[in-house]
């Protein structure tokens, strides 16, 4: 099976590319746009005719995994057109590619499609995105469902894990601790979610693709915590770290974009289908980071 991963220089895409290559005889190609990670090829999802694009005809995909999007939630509020292009328009273009090659489409979504009034959420919960980012993700979800019969939509949130650039929240905190820097952490005490390791996402997706599953799956680990609790979980593994922790309300933080406060996801659907699957936790990951 040929798998094309759009956005393989990012956290989720990179973990999927590495895991798929290691676990199967699938042929995998990962693309980048702005950051050239190892073993990736250039592809511009906003210009399918770009002469620099990887030649997909030389690698006709059976599956296209779309991980690319503009994920800076507050930035999206002030750059609505750019958010639309990089999340919605790019999805329209990937849909076109999937239809051209009769490929299965996998779209990576988020718990930001919900309003956070009564989370965590399962797949049947009513959506109500509060932010530009969430609204564009939801619009992209609906496009995939409308135009590609053979699709998978994975909703995830608070993703962490090994990443070439180390951009995710946990990686940045750990890097600062290992560099001996004193941390100043101003984090919300009223935003709850379900952090998940990108490696686990890759493991889940491998199973779903291998079994030819379709539809929406909410993917989450067993952790459910606020950002303050997440910070304390990290710091617990580094007792000598210097830090100032300021638990603040979302109102006090005055963030540009509205967040789903009681967010997070319920993975009941996935676990009923894969009852032997074991998710890792933040503690598991932190133990590995200590070496």
Q: What confidence category does residue 198 fall into, taking pLDDT thresholds of 50, 70 and 90?
A: very high
List the domain range (segments joined by +) for residue 228: 169-191+224-262+276-289
**Residue-level pLDDT at 288:** 86
Q: What confidence category does residue 4 fall into, taking pLDDT thresholds of 50, 70 and 90?
A: very high
* The residue to which tokens 């659907």 are assigned: 269
Beta-strand runs (E) in the chain: 2-6, 27-32, 40-42, 63-66, 104-110, 151-156, 159-160, 183-188, 192-193, 196-197, 215-218, 225-226, 243-248
Stronger pLDDT, 167 or 186, i.e. the higher one? 186
Tally of residues, the chain: 291
What is the spatial distance between Cα 213 and Cα 219, in angstroms, rounded to a whole number? 14
What is the spatial distance between Cα 270 and Cα 220, in angstroms, rounded to a whole number? 9
Q: Are both 98 and 182 inside the same structural domain?
A: no
Q: Are both 155 and 242 inside the same structural domain?
A: no
Q: Are both 149 and 252 inside the same structural domain?
A: no
Q: Are both 123 and 173 inside the same structural domain?
A: no
Residue 96 has pLDDT above 80, yes or no: yes
Q: What confidence category does residue 36 fall into, taking pLDDT thresholds of 50, 70 and 90?
A: confident
pTM of the predicted model as reported, rounded to 2 decimal places: 0.95
pLDDT single digits (tens) 127-155:
999 999 999 999 999 999 999 999 999 99
Q: Are both 48 and 111 inside the same structural domain?
A: yes
Which region among 93-102, 168-177, 251-260, 266-275 has the lowest average model confidence (pLDDT)? 168-177
Q: Are both 25 and 138 inside the same structural domain?
A: yes
In a domain, 268, yes or no: no
pLDDT single digits (tens) 60-87:
999 999 998 888 999 999 999 999 999 9
Which region among 136-140, 148-152, 164-168, 232-236 has the lowest average model confidence (pLDDT)? 164-168
Residue 168 has pLDDT above 90, yes or no: no
| DSSP at 113 | G
* The residue to which tokens 């650039």 are assigned: 165
**Residue-level pLDDT at 291:** 62
35 CB-near residues (< 8 Å, 6+ apart): 9, 165
The total domain count for the chain is 2
Which region among 94-98, 104-108, 175-179 has the lowest average model confidence (pLDDT)? 175-179
Residue 166 has pLDDT above 80, yes or no: no
| DSSP at 163 | -
What tokens were used for 36?
Answer: 């050239």
Mean pLDDT of 52-61: 96
Q: CATH no. for residue 283?
A: 3.90.25.10
* The residue to which tokens 């895991």 are assigned: 19
Mean pLDDT for the chain overall: 94
């Amino acid at each position: 099976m040929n798998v094309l991963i759009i956005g393989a220089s990012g956290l989720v895409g990179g973990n999927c590319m590495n895991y798929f290559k290691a676990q199967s005889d699938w042929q995998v190609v990962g693309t980048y746009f702005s950051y050239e990670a190892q073993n990736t090829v250039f592809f511009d999802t906003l210009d399918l005719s770009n002469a620099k694009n990887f030649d997909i005809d030389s690698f006709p995909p059976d599956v296209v995994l779309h991980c690319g999007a503009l994920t800076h939630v507050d930035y999206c509020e002030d750059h609505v057109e750019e958010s639309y292009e990089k999340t919605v328009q790019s999805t329209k273009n990937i849909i076109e590619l999937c239809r051209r090659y009769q490929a299965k489409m996998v779209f990576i979504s988020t718990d930001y499609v919900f309003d956070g009034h009564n989370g965590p959420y399962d797949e049947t919960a009513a959506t109500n995105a509060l932010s530009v980012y969430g609204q564009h993700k939801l619009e992209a979800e609906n496009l995939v469902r409308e135009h590609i019969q053979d699709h998978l939509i994975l909703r995830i949130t608070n993703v962490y894990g090994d990443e070439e650039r180390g951009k995710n929240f946990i990686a940045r905190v750990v890097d600062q601790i290992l560099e001996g820097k004193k941390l100043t952490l101003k984090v919300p005490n009223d935003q709850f979610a379900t952090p998940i390791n990108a490696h686990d996402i890759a493991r889940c997706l491998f199973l779903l693709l291998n079994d030819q599953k379709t539809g929406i799956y909410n993917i989450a680990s067993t952790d459910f915590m606020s950002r303050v609790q997440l910070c304390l979980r990290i710091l617990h593994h580094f007792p000598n770290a210097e830090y100032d922790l300021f638990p603040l309300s979302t109102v006090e933080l005055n963030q540009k974009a509205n967040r789903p406060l009681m967010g997070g996801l319920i993975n009941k659907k996935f676990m009923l289908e894969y009852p032997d699957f074991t998710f890792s936790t933040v503690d598991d990951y932190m133990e590995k980071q200590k070496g």
